[in-house]
Chains A and B, each alone.
Chain A
């Protein structure tokens, strides 16, 4: 089990060199590989398409804000259906540039998962087809709730939150094209 994993790490280092910044085993059997965020797309494409590894199922895209370390770490959980192997890829993003390339073209499942990370952590996924908030309201203006500097009750006071909720408009829910195109806004 571990031997195959070691050779995979070696192969990754051979191909990508210094873009592989480290690897470790967590909880006895969980392989973790740290990679440079600027190379995430190439590395994930290689893992998905290389014969013998075939990480074809993207289980999860999420992020971790450690609080003690500035920035956000994007975490990919991969599974290979044929080889029955689990792999975790981590990309540490510095606080001043929270952006990484999207993998939505590689896996359809990344579409919503990346939207969620964008919504809750504020990570920009470059090349994502439809990057907008998913769980929080579309007009939510308090920031990104899962960041450690975000207070549990939100940034605004209760009065301000109520006021904003009552001020919601059609435009918060429908795009202008939808409103124009489908004749919903007959008064204009």
Chain B
């Protein structure tokens, strides 16, 4: 064997055919463990095949082996950017199937949670999307504000991300003392930061150039593709579950639904910015109307008797024992319940045969359906635009892969 090794140069045709490029799965610009297999003609995208499933944990299968209340912790692990929203929609679906009416206080507390999470999720989207097109400052501003919501999570549930705050028939606990004051403080001071971010991006020449006319989709195409949430509304279709299929008295809150016109990345940005302001309006109204009274429903099917009762009479003791050991029982039937999630229509489809575990628990994943449109949106654009289009869809891979 000789020490000298010849380097073989590739022979034959070196013409410039299409190139196959992997983006991700470990890349910050894919916003999660997403792999995009791109066929490129120079800088231009010919074809994309998104490859998902890297975070697949089979939550839906796991759910079939857990009691109804034990599923709650699985829900916040799906969308770790808006965990309380997922906690809420799951129990709301089960309560609808059980025909269980939660207390007035619980309703308003859940509205507070859901609207807070909308801001929470949109802020992460705003920061990471801005950083994808080179604007670093909005990212820092947005994350500073998110930190305040993290603190609210922590004060309420004891956890920053894995909140698991809801139970069938109520919440795991009532709001701690002083929590609403902290939230009110956030509602009052946050618009200032939002205005600052707005002034950095909305009329910024570079941002406009990177977003206007990029990733355009018409209203009818968006409906056909299954777009929901801000992505659909950016294309000019007025569909918001809080108005069209109201739940939790949303029809009594005063707020507007921002509608876009062009269906491009810039409109998606504008719609989300305005949604945050509208969420603040809802938060303000909900804080004003937050009633007193119990947070958990008094229904023997789901609620535990008080400790004093358990210690004093036999029936309460047995009742307590049965609920803890067997779990809640849900009547046979199926129910599809959806809310206006931060990313689109977030639905839960639960099927029960009357037992203590679900037969099927299905999540209607908004990001999953939104991401499936990416190939259609990005073809013909450049690679750098692909990053912007992907960011503008606001996906979360935990929920796509489930």
Footprint of B on A, CB under 8 Å? 26-28, 30, 32, 56-60, 62, 64-68, 75, 77, 81, 84, 86, 88, 107-113, 116, 120, 133-137, 145-146, 150, 152, 173-174, 178, 181-184, 186
Contact = CB atoms under 8 A, between A and B. Distances in A.
A81 B239 contact: yes
B99 A81 contact: no
A75 to B, nearest CB: 7
B28 to A, nearest CB: 22
Contacts of A28: 99
Contacts of B351: 64, 66
A108 B349 contact: no
B359 A134 contact: no
Contacts of B51: 173
B253 interface: no
Contacts of B17: 181-183
Contacts of A136: 53, 56
Contacts of B349: 60, 62, 75, 77
A68 B20 CA distance: 47
Interface centre among A68, A84, A108, by most chain B C-beta atoms within 10 angstroms, is A108
Nearest to A186: B10
B151 interface: no
23 contacts: A27-B96, A56-B223, A57-B228, A59-B228, A59-B345, A59-B347, A60-B349, A81-B244, A86-B245, A107-B224, A109-B369, A109-B372, A110-B226, A112-B369, A116-B368, A120-B60, A133-B53, A135-B401, A135-B402, A136-B53, A146-B60, A152-B65, A182-B20
Contacts of A65: 360
B18 interface: yes
A145 B58 contact: yes
Given A135-B53, A146-B60, A181-B17, A84 B362 contact: no
A59 B364 contact: yes
Interface string B304-341: 00000000000000000000000000000111101000
Interface centre among B17, B335, B351, B372, by most chain A C-beta atoms within 10 angstroms, is B372
B20 A108 contact: no
B225 interface: yes
Contacts of B347: 59-60, 77
Contact of B61 (A59, A134, A146): A146
B97 A27 contact: yes
